[in-house]
Structure 1
Amino acid sequence: MNLDTNTEAVRRINLRILPFLMLLYLVAYIDRSNISVAALSMNAELGLTSQMYGLAAGIFFATYIVFEIPSNVLLTRFGARRWIARIMITWGIVAAGMAFVSSAHQLYGMRLLLGAAEAGFTPGIIYYLAKWYPSRDRANAMSFFYIGAALASVIGLPLSGLLLNAHGTLGLSGWRWVFLIEGIPAVLLGFAVLKFLPDRPKDAAWLTAGQQDSLERTIAAEEAEAPVSHHASWSVAFSSIRVWLLAFFWLLQAFGTIGITLFMPLIVKNLSGGGNLAVSLLSAVPFLAACVFMFFNSRHSDRTGERAFHLGLPLALAGACLLGATYVGDPRLSYLLLVLSVALNWAVIPIFWAVTTELVSGLAAAISIALINALANVAGLALPPVIGWIKDSTGTYDIALTLVASALIAGGVLGIAIVRTGTPALRLSRQ
């Protein structure tokens, strides 16, 4: 392994591929979560209760879960470039089409279609990045990719808030403009993927032959050393204890990233009582903090080589901050603790995927990543309707946020145990 050659190659990849992937995920996350801002006026127009909105937000994950693993299998067959382009073009069309729903049931149907169209995008990109970055650079790369998701909220929430103010333009409600305008970029970027995204280092004309060869050999050597090796059957993903433990951790973590994200504007409105634009701006701040926390947590983890406490400790602290935000009583202090909770929650994401891709490789990795992500999205399917039902029943989000906080604290403890286990029951023997 030539470290100098790999360092220069990674530097080029950081400049050529990472910004583009960040843009793709930014657009994906806006299209997935902009319903949270649209809800500020859409719910009243369509006659949605909090529980009905929660069902619309969460039902996306029903088809997303079903098609997640098949999508990643097809990605390994057709190549990342063509498959990711397909995903983006179809989801962009569906996302824009949500502008024309006129009833709750039509909204449910379009969210189901959106989940099917977008299924496999996130695990596909994670698998793709593992083919480009040696393990020592992987957490940092993952952090930049997920910064794209956080920036989607930083940019998308205020943008969606502004589009709500276009109410009445050409006879369309503001929330319809949110879906229509924000769905178009995915279609355009899908065609850009076909032109600009190489499948693996050997296909990148902007890397030298030496850099291509060095990266391919380094990553192949690491895959051969993975506990679930490159040559393992896809079925290993379903029989590995560690894969299921990682999936359960990711499920607990998703209580925060999915549950809080989809209700953030409504929670902030409940705290501040401000107008739509002010609420959307305040809702963006936690995700700006998340960008900073992800960058420094992943960078420090890569430099020190320590994964366990970089994975588990921020998540446990996120749960503690959320409990404080729920019961402190002062709206300003509650908002500050909410910002810290979101930032700490997101800080673990790149560490988690770095750990996961260090443990599995090959087709087993594609299946494992999709399986882990699919299980986590059970939280997306079940949690929003539950949060909405709790809000309708009690008039507050307190019990729902306590549930989320408890999951985050439990997840933090589990994350440390997964990485730092010394017990035979948690060790994964070489397959």
Structure 2
Amino acid sequence: MSQVVIPEVERQAVGKFLRRMLPILVLMLLINQMDRTNVGFVQDELRADVGVSATAYGLGAGLFFIGYALFEVPSNMLLERFGARVWLTRIMITWGAVIVAMCFIHNVWMFYGLRFLLGVAEAGFFPGVLLYFTQWLPDSSRGRASAIFLGGSATAYIVTGPITGALLELDGVGGFAGWRWMFALEGLLSIVVGFIAGFFLVSRIEDARWLTREEKDALRAAVSRDEEARSRAPKVSRLKLIIHPQVALLTTVFFAMALTGYAITFWLPSLVSEIGGLSPFQVGLLSAIPWICAVIAMYTVSHFTDGAPDRRPYLAIALVLSAIGTFLATLGSPWFGLAAITLAAVGGKVAATLFWPMAQSGLDLKVAAPGLAVVNSIGNLGGFVSPTLFGYLKDTTGSTNGGLYTLSTASVLAVIGVALIRRNGGSATGSGTPSVAKGQVATGG
């Protein structure tokens, strides 16, 4: 495949955008991922201080995704109206305010309401950044930006545990519980960074003082060419997309993957704490181990499979590893369980990197872009089902084993679904890269 030749002035403009805008966007994403998942580290504290049962915790953790799904599209429409600087800043400040409010939780209903509001506040952030990229970058440069941005999500899963665990060590300072300090300080950090982002982000190419006139003209012309090409793409109704056989199959596979990804995200600290005798900071450190291994595996496998003509066998292997890991986590000691969950996290993270390029090549071009959006939005509801089901099974059986068996079964069924997905032979590279990035973040792994 021939390389796209990028004019020098356009290359310079893209480089300036990456150097000036991406650092703050990556920081925002890192905090975004930390704030949506930090509740996983205070499950025991919420049960003791507020009376949040395992079922209530799972439901509350999952309600985030209902709010997020309902308001994702309206949020993106408002971003187009008000611009990225105003709207992305608004998103971050409001989700920070909700996180601060969570330090005042005193009953289950407040927990439910604030988790739902957190989803509403965060709605549209990640796809909004991807939309921001389309307004600033041509297709030929957007893949690199998305890959760098995705690094913030990968890093978040590693640093969330140690940071949150360290804040929980403030238990008793000033007469406040450690979990209240954690929500208050992490929420304040979000608000501060949100205001800082308001000074750095630039909504439109023509407003960038750090671009020369030639660079602005070149970048605007390149973006306009891509917008014109996308406008000629055929429109397909959402109903037809939902019942499209390949879209439905891909949605089912992604839903199963999301079940495992979000279950590990929200329940890993609880599983680690079963080791016993650990401080909150030690729980946070150990909780980072599966994600460190998963991120290493993700980048290693993607390096070797980028040129593969068919990613389905590799995806099936990754899902099998995930199934084995979640099953083995029901056996042996808590330390053995941590090793097993690490295997499951590796399988889930690798599966995320393989799924979206494979999904692109498996869909007809006329339904590829809207079809992938449907797969992501509906499949992401696994983020609601998974923690809710996990919590219910823990309360009714007294163990997380039932939830782990469910995840293992879901991964096996996903393997069957992968085997049924046809391969178009289309390219899994190019303008589809943003979709890959979205999938990797959406699975929480």
Q: Which TM-score band applies after superposition, normalised by the shorter structure?
A: 0.7 to 0.9
Contact 1:321 1:338 in 2 (8 A): no
The correspondence for 1:341, drawn from 341, 344, 359, is: 344
The correspondence for 1:397, drawn from 400, 419, 426, is: 400
Q: Distance in 2 between matches of 1:311 and 1:201?
A: 40
The correspondence for 1:59, drawn from 60, 63, 67, is: 63
Corresponding residue SS for 2:203? coil
2:231 match: 230
Contact 1:62 1:381 in 2 (8 A): yes
Q: Distance in 2 between matches of 1:170 and 1:389?
A: 35
TM-score w.r.t. structure 2 length?
0.79
Alpha carbons of 1:220 and 1:315: their partners in 2 closer, same or farther (altered >3 Å)?
A: farther
- Greater shift, 184-193 or 53-62, is seen at 184-193
2:187 match: 183
TM superposition shift of 1:328:
5.2
Q: Deviations over 1:295-322 (max 9, x none)?
A: 44455566x3867349834642442342
The correspondence for 2:73, drawn from 69, 73, 92, is: 69
Q: Deviations over 1:180-199 (max 9, x none)?
A: 00011222222233322233
Q: Distance in 1 between matches of 2:319 and 2:85?
A: 37
Alpha carbons of 1:334 and 1:79: their partners in 2 closer, same or farther (altered >3 Å)?
A: same
Contact 2:257 2:348 in 1 (8 A): yes
2:439 match: none
After superposition, where does 1:182-221 map in structure 2 within 5 Å? 182-199=186-203, 204-207=208-211
Contact 1:123 1:370 in 2 (8 A): no
Q: Distance in 1 between matches of 2:412 and 2:205?
A: 39
Alpha carbons of 1:336 and 1:103: their partners in 2 closer, same or farther (altered >3 Å)?
A: same
Q: Give yes or no for the alignment of 1:275 onto 2:276.
A: no
Specify the code of the residue in structure 2 equivalent to 1:100.
F
1:145 match: 149
TM-score w.r.t. structure 1 length?
0.82
2:174 match: 170
2:438 match: none
Alpha carbons of 1:94 and 1:319: their partners in 2 closer, same or farther (altered >3 Å)?
A: same
1:115 match: 119
Q: Deviations over 1:292-350 (max 9, x none)?
A: 33444455566x38673498346424423424532553544442332232133224445
Q: Distance in 1 between matches of 2:184 and 2:40?
A: 15
The correspondence for 1:15, drawn from 13, 19, 30, is: 19
Contact 1:257 1:345 in 2 (8 A): yes
TM superposition shift of 1:174:
0.8
Q: Deviations over 1:250-292 (max 9, x none)?
A: 3222112212101110122235663332222111122223333
| C-alpha RMSD of the superposition | 3.6
TM superposition shift of 1:112:
1.6
1:239 match: 240
Instruction: Select the structure with the greater relative contact order (CA < 8 A; seq sep ≥ 6).
Output: 1
TM superposition shift of 1:133:
5.2
Corresponding residue SS for 1:167? coil
Q: Deviations over 1:18-68 (max 9, x none)?
A: 322221111111111111112232221112221121112112222222112
Q: Percent same amino acid among aligned pairs?
A: 33
1:381 match: 384
TM superposition shift of 1:164:
1.6
Q: Distance in 1 between matches of 2:199 and 2:248?
A: 37
After superposition, where does 1:338-377 map in structure 2 within 5 Å? 338-349=341-352, 371-377=374-380
- Greater shift, 73-82 or 216-225, is seen at 216-225
1:157 match: 161
2:435 match: none
Specify the code of the residue in structure 2 equivalent to 1:322.
G
2:93 match: 89
Corresponding residue SS for 2:281? helix
Specify the code of the residue in structure 2 equivalent to 1:230.
S
1:103 match: 107
The runs of 5 or more residues in structure 1 that have no matched partner are: 424-431
Alpha carbons of 1:135 and 1:305: their partners in 2 closer, same or farther (altered >3 Å)?
A: farther
Alpha carbons of 1:307 and 1:19: their partners in 2 closer, same or farther (altered >3 Å)?
A: farther
Q: Distance in 2 between matches of 1:113 and 1:378?
A: 16
Contact 2:52 2:107 in 1 (8 A): no
Q: Distance in 2 between matches of 1:50 and 1:25?
A: 28
Q: Distance in 1 between matches of 2:302 and 2:131?
A: 18
Contact 2:39 2:61 in 1 (8 A): yes
Alpha carbons of 1:77 and 1:346: their partners in 2 closer, same or farther (altered >3 Å)?
A: farther
Specify the code of the residue in structure 1 equivalent to 2:175.
G
- Greater shift, 79-88 or 242-251, is seen at 242-251
